[in-house]
Amino acid sequence: MGPHPAVADVRRAVREALAGLDPHDLVLAACSGGADSLALAAALGFVAPRLGLRGGLLTVDHQLQEGSAERARRVRDLAPMLGLDPAEILTVEVGTAGGPEAAAREARYAALDAAARRLGAAAVLLGHTRDDQAETVLLGLVRGSGLRSIAGMPATSGRYRRPLLRLGRATTVAACRALGLDPWDDPHNADPRYTRVRVRTRVLPALEAELGPGVAEALARTADLARADADALDAWADSAYRDCALSDIGRPVTLAVPPLRELPDAVRTRVLRRAAITAGSPAGALSAGHVQAVDRLITAWRGQKAVDLPGGVCAARRYGTLVFASQPVA
pLDDT digits (tens, 9 = 90+) for 10-21: 999 999 999 999
Share of the chain above pLDDT 90, in %: 79
User: Could you say which DSSP state residue 326 is in?
Assistant: S
Kind plus residue range of the DSSP H or E element containing 64:
none
Q: Are 295 and 255 in contact (CB under 8 A)?
A: no
Whole-number pLDDT of residue 250: 58
Whole-number pLDDT of residue 96: 77
Q: Are 306 and 330 in contact (CB under 8 A)?
A: no
Whole-number pLDDT of residue 260: 96
Grouping H, G, I as helix, E, B as strand and the rest as coil, residue 65 is coil
Whole-number pLDDT of residue 277: 93
pTM (2 d.p.): 0.86
User: Could you say which DSSP state residue 203 is in?
Assistant: I
* Per-residue CA distances from 319 to 1, 173, 240, 303, 305 (Å): 76, 63, 20, 11, 14
Tell me: the pLDDT tens digits for 193-220? 888 899 999 999 999 999 999 999 999 9
Other CB atoms within 10 A of residue 287 CB: 13
Side by side, which strands form the sheet with 87-91? Answer: 87-91, 54-61, 26-30, 123-125, 160-161, 156-157
Domains defined along the chain, listed by start: 5-222 (3.40.50.620), 248-325 (3.30.465.60)
* Spans of the chain, pLDDT less than 50: none
Do the bridges between strand 54-61 and strand 87-91 make them parallel or antiparallel, or are there none, so unpaired? parallel
